[in-house]
Structure 1
């Protein structure tokens, strides 16, 4: 199966990648010729997101029910499957990317290499952030953009105001474009806030969101740790986002100095 070189986003932020291992199957390079006004409903977003995730699930190794990654994820997030009125489902991709993403249909996918470097509380913060993107409908915008890139609309179909059915190659391209999508700074900030409030409301350690961003900052600086592959070239906003979380925690009287944040030298999922 062909490996597609893609950019991945961690906590919703695009990071350039040199050696991605997530597979999106064989997707033809289709050039979009543009589209006119498209009536794109929440139902469309959910349908197309599910098609994209089903495609990625088929083309990547998923941790089985007794796998330590799945056991850990179920322990952490099992009670949040209906978080904030959303019906969510979680799976682990056993790949080398350091990433997580969520889709409009409520699918949340966490990558094993991310679980290897994040504590339980940090993973809760990561998932809280991704749930925020779903709740705020940021993922609807992302899947719409991915659909338009994949549909290869010609002069006739571009006049249509409805979402058409995609073939398998187009679904593969849509999945690729979705994972490669970026959110605005405003959307990222709102998802960060959602994660903080999610942690606070559930009496989790809000400082974990700070330490998660500090770890990303270390990776972006080019730190090398045993057992980890540097998955992206830079992550310029991580330190700033960490400091924003610290200010919130201090204001709420929830700040506890975690000390020096370092990347683990061994896997945290065993």
Structure 2
């Protein structure tokens, strides 16, 4: 999130890259005015419960939705995504909700509260099944708690550590400026190679579970690689592939897995 009208690169943000972008001019956020020393606040931030992190995630995604161009229900991208995810409101124990951001970024992210956001640029660049492969990958980060953990880390490592605390069992609300700083932290975070590989496998399984040829997992990565000109630079391509020194290897691994499982590569 480099400007108020840009979405984050991920999360989680996948976040909690969320994961993932905007000042909340009309939000009426009640701030906790209790004065606490910075050191004490930092300790409290470290001890945030998972429930607190989820509440902050919900606040963050609400803020994102209010300050990004969300596709209305009658928009072609919104209709397309609704049809794609009609049977995916609940998956693997997660309650999921989906929206399209009408921005050109080839990007997507999922948050620990089950929010999945897909950019119009990604939907323009990919087929339906490739989009679902990316969504499955992002949900994998949520299911594996990568998104939650990354979001918590962003809370603790930004200046928010001086203002985030759990007092009286309730997480303190965040100000607009805090949400902006949090967005910067989220945008600049990435997952480890191991986390990305596990999310790749999850996306593969996600497609299989929904009776879709898992070859589309490989094809989605290839599409991103093609869009980047073979380099892992910029937007979602950077987020999705930056942890891997050889992005082609990632494409090949999913292809090899699909072939081994007896699937033929789709022609389109």
| Structure 2 residue 51 is the aligned partner of structure 1 residue 43 | yes
> What does the per-residue CA deviation read over 1:22-80, in whole Å, with 9 as the maximum and x for residues that have no partner?
943379xxxx9893472232212211111111111111100000100000000001210
| Residue 263 (structure 1) aligns with | none
> C-alpha distance in 1, partners of 2:237/2:262?
35
| Residue 8 (structure 1) aligns with | 9
| Residue 54 (structure 1) aligns with | 62
1:164/1:148 CA distance change after superposition, 3 Å = farther
Compute the RMSD of aligned alpha carbons: 3.3
Three-state SS of the structure 2 residue aligned to 1:80 is: coil
1:214 positional shift: 0.6
| Structure 2 residue 236 is the aligned partner of structure 1 residue 238 | no
> C-alpha distance in 2, partners of 1:7/1:239?
25
1:157 positional shift: 7.9
Gaps of 5+ in 1: 15-21, 224-229, 260-270
Gaps of 5+ in 2: 26-37
The question of whether the paired residues in 1 share the 8 Å contact of 2:215 and 2:255 is answered with: yes
The question of whether the paired residues in 2 share the 8 Å contact of 1:36 and 1:159 is answered with: no
| Residue 83 (structure 2) aligns with | 75
1:3 positional shift: 3.8
Three-state SS of the structure 2 residue aligned to 1:254 is: coil
1:165/1:120 CA distance change after superposition, 3 Å = same
**TM-score calculated relative to the size of structure 2:** 0.77
> C-alpha distance in 1, partners of 2:236/2:21?
17
1:240/1:51 CA distance change after superposition, 3 Å = same
| Residue 256 (structure 1) aligns with | 265
| Structure 2 residue 127 is the aligned partner of structure 1 residue 129 | no
1:24 to 19, 22, 25: 22
| Count of residues paired in the alignment | 239
Segment drifting more, 207-216 vs 107-116: 207-216
Alignment of 1:187-206 (within 5 A): 187-206=195-214
1:168 positional shift: 2.1
**TM-score calculated relative to the size of structure 1:** 0.77
| Residue 194 (structure 2) aligns with | 186
The question of whether the paired residues in 2 share the 8 Å contact of 1:149 and 1:174 is answered with: no
> C-alpha distance in 1, partners of 2:150/2:85?
24
> C-alpha distance in 2, partners of 1:78/1:171?
31
1:232/1:79 CA distance change after superposition, 3 Å = closer
| Residue 29 (structure 2) aligns with | none
1:10/1:245 CA distance change after superposition, 3 Å = farther
| Residue 175 (structure 1) aligns with | 183
1:142 to 134, 141, 150: 150
